Amino acid sequence: MNAVDEMFDQTVLVAPREVRDLIQRASRVKGCEASVADHLATKVTFCEVHYGGGIRGWLQLVSEDTNCLSEVVASAQILDSLPANDVSEFSWNSPIPFVLIAKSLSVLQTYGFTWSCDPTPITGDALVRCVYLTQETSADHLLDDKMQKALSDGLKVNYADWKDLTNIAAEFLLSEEILDNSGSPVYE
Amino acid sequence: MHPTTLGSARLTRLSFSRSMIRRAASNNWKIERTSIDLDECGRGQIIYRVEAEDHIFHFVAFTTTIDESLHTDRVIADGWEISAALVEGELSENLLNFLATEVPKQETSRLDSRVLSITRGNRSVRFYEYLVNRLASGFQPEAEKVGDAGYIMRSTAFYGNGKFGMRSFLGFPPDHPLAAPYRAQFLAAWLFRETSYDSVEYCAQIRSPEKAVAFDEQWCRFFGLGNATGLGLIPWAMKHPKKLNAWVSVRELALAGVRALPNSVEHRELLEEWIEQGHQHFASFQGEDRWPWMGPDSLSEVILGIRDVFSSMDSEEFPFDALYLWAEEQGPEITELVVSLLLELDETSDDEVDRLLRVDNSDAPDLLMTVGDLNDKIAEEYFWLDDLDLESSQASHYWWVISDNAEEPRRAERSVINPEHRDVAIDFALRLNQLKNDLKKADCDIKVTQFLQDLPHHGIAVNRTVKDSGPYSEPRENVCDLDHLPLNLQRFQLAMYGMDNFKAQSTDWLRVTLFQGAPRIAELCPDTSDRWVWPQQPQTDQRSSFL
């Protein structure tokens, strides 16, 4: 097995920006408005770097019903705001993947909130039914060593997931033939 | 900044090509060609080794020939005559094989964090063979035949920063020799230019071992690297407000410092020397104006005018400020020419500039900001939106899209193709205008995060406005407008890179050169002068031409 085959055997090394770019494009393909896709791309990239399973969590969402992606994203948006109370509980009738809330919880940590989930998620594709938030006088912040390592060395992601994501994201691109026939300005 | 100001910018001492060479020289980087294996047509492989501040890099170029009909300036080509990579670390056989397989694929390659930048390009169809034959015959080039070219090879892209799996820019620790923006790409570009020289000289030697000569001193520095640039720069500029702000800020800070310099013989003489160097350069290059910019003939006249005006200011207390104030009244091209001259007097340390340019785009969201706060911020910082006529039909004439061929960015007419889900969201002026309108209808006391729960499509515009990206972060134009001229933003970025000889080919793309006048690798040492820019076109050596 040569180096290239080995690299692609189970996992592939990618840069964080590639995850972001592909999720953004693929989310557009799956019906999200540009701002929603952008927001989602930030969440998935964060989760993939810090917990893993972010891409798989996103793939699970789109495999079920292509039209519901924006709605599921919206259902998690409550955690993008500061809770009104020092102790709060948020629950979803249909559990949502941790990838949708990992980044929001990290931001809330910087405002002094500690969190726990039910069930306790390990990776981004884990389904979460309920989140508990408590305001503390001081809270631990997530260290960004993992992001620094991903930027420096690359991020190992599941190859099959990466391939699936790449294929979906490719639909974001427009055929050159259509562009040429439309008279789109081009050089030469 | 106003688009036409951006579109008149010129190369300065802060440009990345200049700062890269200064860093390499002052830190005594050791660069050598470790391998060259080409046939008489220049097909094969060239490798350079760089020892820089306890780091080892290699630049590996794979060269071939392709039919002239397949040469293109666009990113969409299937193949190139030169494809190359800059990697960090020792070059094992495994890594070399990996590069040989992946690098020629360019946009379809899969790389890893050992790779810092990849590039590709073609030879100048007109000049490569001529130059090889000329050197092989024992002669230097004839100025009238190649002088207007300025390059032997032309690149079409320099990729880095995480593309195709390469190392991300912020993955470089701050003390890394390539930790400044685009430094890896510019080291690659400089070595690409070296490759072009070495390729010609080596082929000449193979073809005629007895008679062949190398380029002489004047030709050794004259050729730069050609570059063709299209629309890809526009999405980049629009998506990176903090970086744009940093790029403009370092210029503005330096300019403020120079304008504050009191009158001194030393500084006056230095500026006069640069004015003279500029005049000699433009006068020797020659060439008429090429829309929308002045050509060398006009610039050579203009710079004489600048010289005359400056000489009349020798009793001013602050002559450099006086010159700048005069230039501001002469229009953007003259202003920016004067700025580029004045910035040669700047003495800001390169380390400080590098630090200011190293920008992290990630920001923690502000969960406390209210709609009222955001309204105030928009009124204060985005007043210029009112000048763009964003409600008119021509304001959304174009939308931006990425083609499925090599992911080439393009713009399409909205009335001809429906964007559906394919628009690249750089329509910031339109989005900000819509946000402004909707904010007026919202309760000023609610948090912005709550506002976004109801209207999530404003997310991009909100993120843009709540970030403190700095006073120079917005190009202040609508890139979807019928009258949008991409050349303005393109030129600003290219000037920051250190490119020159701007030759617009249409509204959407241009050709430039970089590293014209720069030292070859063998010349690099701590004493290498920073005054290599603006070279003069060489003169034909009459003795050798008529032998």
Domain ranges of chain B: 9-230+509-545, 244-358, 365-500
* Cβ-defined contact of A153 to B171 (cutoff 8 Å): yes
Structure tokens at B241: 């407000």
Provide the pLDDT for residue B547.
34
Total tally of structural domains belonging to chain A: 1
Provide the pLDDT for residue A4.
57
| Residue B490 pLDDT grade (very low, low, confident, very high; cuts 50, 70, 90) | very high
Provide the pLDDT for residue B306.
98
The 10s digit of each residue's pLDDT in B169-201 is: 999 999 999 999 999 999 999 999 999 999 999
Asked whether residue B72 carries a pLDDT value surpassing 90, the answer given is: no
Parent domain of A158: 10-140+154-173
Q: Is B318:B259 a contact under the CB 8 Å cutoff?
A: yes
Distance between CA B235 and CA A166 in Å, rounded?
A: 21
Q: How far is CA B489 from the centre of its chain?
A: 11
User: B371 vs B266, B425, B436, B447, B463, CA distance in Å?
Assistant: 54, 23, 10, 6, 13
Structure tokens at A113: 């909130």
Asked whether residue B240 carries a pLDDT value surpassing 80, the answer given is: yes
Q: Does residue A145 lie in a domain region?
A: no
Q: What is the pTM of this model?
A: 0.95
CA dihedral B337, B341, B343, B349 (to 10 degrees): 130
* Cβ-defined contact of A12 to B165 (cutoff 8 Å): yes
* Cβ-defined contact of A152 to B171 (cutoff 8 Å): yes
Q: How far is CA A92 from the centre of its chain?
A: 19
- For chain B, the average pLDDT equals 94
Give B113→chain A minimum CA distance, Å: 5
Q: Which residues of B touch A150 (CB under 8 A)?
A: 168, 171
Q: Does residue A109 lie in a domain region?
A: yes
Minimum Cα–Cα distance from A40: chain B residue? B459
The DSSP output letter for B311 is: H
Q: Is A165:A124 a contact under the CB 8 Å cutoff?
A: no
Mean pLDDT throughout B199-207?
97
Provide the pLDDT for residue A5.
56
Largest CA distance in chain A: 63
The 10s digit of each residue's pLDDT in A132-183 is: 999 987 656 666 799 999 999 999 999 999 999 999 999 999 998 999 888 7
User: B43 vs A9, A128, B46, B81, B145, CA distance in Å?
Assistant: 33, 58, 10, 8, 25
| Residue B546 pLDDT grade (very low, low, confident, very high; cuts 50, 70, 90) | very low
Q: Does residue A179 lie in a domain region?
A: no
The 10s digit of each residue's pLDDT in B120-135 is: 999 987 799 999 999 9
Asked whether residue A2 carries a pLDDT value surpassing 70, the answer given is: no
Q: Does residue A1 lie in a domain region?
A: no
Q: Does residue A76 lie in a domain region?
A: yes
Structure tokens at B417: 């193709």
* Cβ-defined contact of A3 to B97 (cutoff 8 Å): yes
Q: Is A123:A51 a contact under the CB 8 Å cutoff?
A: yes
Q: Does residue A95 lie in a domain region?
A: yes
Mean pLDDT throughout B269-278?
98
Q: Is A70:B494 a contact under the CB 8 Å cutoff?
A: no
Provide the pLDDT for residue A64.
73
Phi, psi angle pair for B319, to nearest 5°: -65, -30
User: Looking at the partner chain, which of A39, A82, A179 has a beta carbon nearest the beta carbon of B459?
Assistant: A39
